[in-house]
């Protein structure tokens, strides 16, 4: 998958526009990603990412970095040998594209607004 564009509240992936937060798992987009505690990512919010065959998980924390990833989530990925990267969403989109082009197995969660 290729992230073609990102701006506040908008992401375009392989020609399709999404206006709600998304997760990228393998070759599919999981639209309308809502977390149980709003701006905090907890393990139950990313079960599909945790069970995916990946070496890297990229979190886009929003245009201003408002979303946080809990220590429990970071530990769960690291226990599986998966590197966790957290960046503001614009940078995270670029990182996702670069890593997938390098042939890495990447999963991701992107907060599109704040």
Annotated domain spans of the chain? 3-110
Please say whether the beta carbons of 56 and 82 come within 8 A: yes
d(CA 71, CA 59): 13
- The token duo for 45 is 């919010």
Mean pLDDT in the chain?
97
CATH number listed for the domain at residues 3-110: 3.40.1230.10
pLDDT in tens, 8-39: 999 999 999 999 999 999 999 999 999 999 99
Q: Give the DSSP letter string of 74-92.
A: HHHHHHTT-EEEEE-HHHH
pLDDT in tens, 33-61: 999 999 999 999 999 999 999 999 999 99
Going by pLDDT thresholds of 50, 70 and 90, the confidence category of residue 102 is very high
pTM: 0.97
């Amino acid at each position: 998958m290729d992230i073609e564009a990102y701006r506040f509240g908008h992401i375009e992936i392989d020609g399709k526009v999404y206006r709600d937060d998304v997760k990228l798992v393998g070759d599919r987009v999981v639209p309308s990603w809502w977390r149980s505690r709003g701006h905090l990512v907890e393990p139950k919010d990313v079960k599909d990412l945790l069970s995916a065959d990946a070496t890297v998980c990229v979190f886009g924390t929003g245009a201003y970095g408002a979303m946080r990833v809990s220590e429990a989530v970071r530990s769960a990925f690291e226990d599986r040998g998966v590197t966790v990267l957290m960046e503001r969403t614009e940078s995270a989109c670029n990182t996702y594209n670069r890593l997938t082009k390098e042939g890495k197995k990447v999963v991701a969660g992107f907060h599109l607004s704040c």
